[in-house]
Amino acid sequence: MRLHFWFSNIFNRHSTIKRQRLALFRAFYSRNYRLFFFGQAISLIGSWITQVATSWLVYRLTHDPFMLGLIIFSGQMPAFIFTPFAGVLIDRFNLHRIIIATQVVSMLQSTALAVLTLSSLINIPLIFFLYFIQGVVNALDIPARQAFVLQLVDNRNDLPNAIALNSSVFNGARLIGPAIAGILIAAFGEGLCYAIDAISYVAVIAALLSMHLEAKPRTQDNRNLATEFKEGLMYLRSFPSIRVLLAMLALITLSATSYITLMPVFTSEVLHSGPQTLGLLISASGLGAFVAALWLAARRDVRGLLKRMPMISASLGISLITFSFSNSICLSVVSLFLSGFFMISHTASSNTLLQTLVDDDKRGRIMSFYAMAFQGTMPLGGLVAGILADSDLLGPQLTIMWGGLLCLIAALSFWHEVPNLQSHIRPIYVNKGIISANMYS
């Protein structure tokens, strides 16, 4: 944890510097957030190494785009099924302990993948099973992490910055991890990638165990989980702005998933290249997403985010269409950089708006719906993309093109909803003190 203590000394030594001068990293004033940030950074690099290794391993074993989509479906579908119920547990139990438990189970899953691959015992059914287990863990872990951020910042006004920095560390890992994976796969194979991922979990577990969190006893609630789940659904139904934001996120994620799922196929069949190029392409997307996250982190508040989101979604569609027609590595890198930038601009903006709108006692349940809209729709999009890319009718390039066109259609429909959303959100932000009465959201 030397890196954490180094940053801690810097921030303590310069505690008199005005926050405006360090606006981009103002959430780092919170010790617990710093620990979580740097622990996550190491662990997420390992997770991205594993993701690229698995995509390449499955395609190497099967040479089947449909099977690639099916594996991704098995790993992410549990998020769609179980995440809404996980939100009830998140609102009821200790988030810190939940996240420690999910990280330990994830480390064991990566260890199993490493042992099986290095011993040449790995096969498609085992990958299905282990990815399904990881999907069940993620159904609890992803919304828990989102809700946990509020507990890590000492100043509630730093929450939007912390959310954006969280996105930056995720996408910074997406920039670094795939590049490392491409080199490791070409030189040593997929097994070492899984072993490195398993070791990387030690960092985030150590960070979580090092935190000093205030005891926040939860109110004793005698209601059963089904009643609390129903309460969350009723809250969602009564909040039109949250409903629209989640529906838009689900539609964009479903449409844009194709390029993520089909990256190994596109690399091999369109660009006629190998794992190093696959790592480069995913890293290009990660770099774009990382830049987008830093842009959002530098913003001081949520004003203007809502009005920009339709344009962001439309730009994502255009960049995907450009990528679908690319036959060169250079154009593919540029278009994927833009795709990553606009994709994370949309998802992180949605996250920030939701977190600033939702009531604290419903946060876990609403963020579980966010995780379902984001992570839960990916397996459906990935499965459909795999089927279409494997057919004689479309193939990988036309499948990605249609995903881009759907993003354009979604952006147009969202643009029509913006005035209604503004009229609903503005009084909420005024009551919370986020904006003054004479400003627009």
- Each domain of the chain, given as residue ranges in start order, spans 25-211+225-432
Residue pLDDT, tens place only, 30-76: 899 999 999 999 999 999 899 889 988 988 888 887 787 788 777 77
Q: Are 104 and 413 in contact (CB under 8 A)?
A: no
Q: What is the pLDDT of residue 426?
A: 83
Q: 68: closest CA among 264, 323, 336, 259?
A: 264
Asked whether residue 17 carries a pLDDT value surpassing 50, the answer given is: no
Kindly tell me the number of DSSP H helices and DSSP E strands found in the chain.
16, 0
Average pLDDT over residues 167-172: 79
Whole-number Å distance between alpha carbons of 150 and 369: 17
Select the more confidently predicted residue: 381 or 313: 313
Tell me: pLDDT of 327 over 80.
yes
Please name the fold of domain 25-211+225-432: Growth Hormone; Chain: A; (1.20.1250)
pLDDT at 379 over 80: no
Mean pLDDT of 313-338: 92
Separation of alpha carbons 405 and 394, rounded Å: 14
Give the model confidence (pLDDT) of 79-110 as tens digits: 777 777 777 788 778 888 999 999 999 999 99
The one-letter amino acid code at 409 reads: I
CA atoms within 13 A on the CB side of 336: 30
Rounded to an integer, what distance in angstroms lies between the CA atom of residue 198 and that of residue 113? Answer: 9
Q: Quick check: 160 and 299 in contact, CB under 8 A?
A: yes
Burial of 66 (0-12, 13-18, 19+ CB in 10 A): middle
For residues 320-325, give the mean pLDDT. 92
The pLDDT value recorded for residue 217 is: 56
**Is the confidence at residue 311, as pLDDT, over 60?**
yes
Whether 355 and 167 have beta carbons less than 8 Å apart is answered as: no
* Residue 170: pLDDT band with limits 50, 70, 90: confident
Residue 335 has what pLDDT?
94
Q: What confidence score (pLDDT) does residue 334 get?
A: 94
Mean pLDDT of all residues in 397-403: 89
Residue from 363, 323, 327, 328 nearest 343 by CA: 323
Question: How far apart, in whole angstroms, are the C-alpha atoms of residue 108 and residue 145?
Answer: 19
- Regarding predicted confidence, which is higher, 402 or 431? 402
Q: How many CB atoms lie within 10 A of CB 401?
A: 19
**Is residue 424 scored above 70 in pLDDT?**
yes
In this model, does residue 22 exceed pLDDT 70? no
Confidence bin at 8 (pLDDT 50/70/90)? low
Q: Measure the CA–CA gap between 310 and 314, rounded to whole angstroms.
A: 6
**Is the pLDDT score of 20 beyond 50?**
no
Q: Express each pLDDT in 132-169 by its tens digit.
A: 998 889 888 888 888 888 888 888 778 878 888 887 88
Provide the whole-model pTM: 0.71
Dist CA 441 CA 316 (whole Å):
23
Residue 262 has pLDDT above 60, yes or no: yes
Question: Average of pLDDT values for 236-264?
Answer: 85
Q: What is the spatial distance between Cα 136 and Cα 134, in angstroms, rounded to a whole number?
A: 5
pLDDT at 70: 80
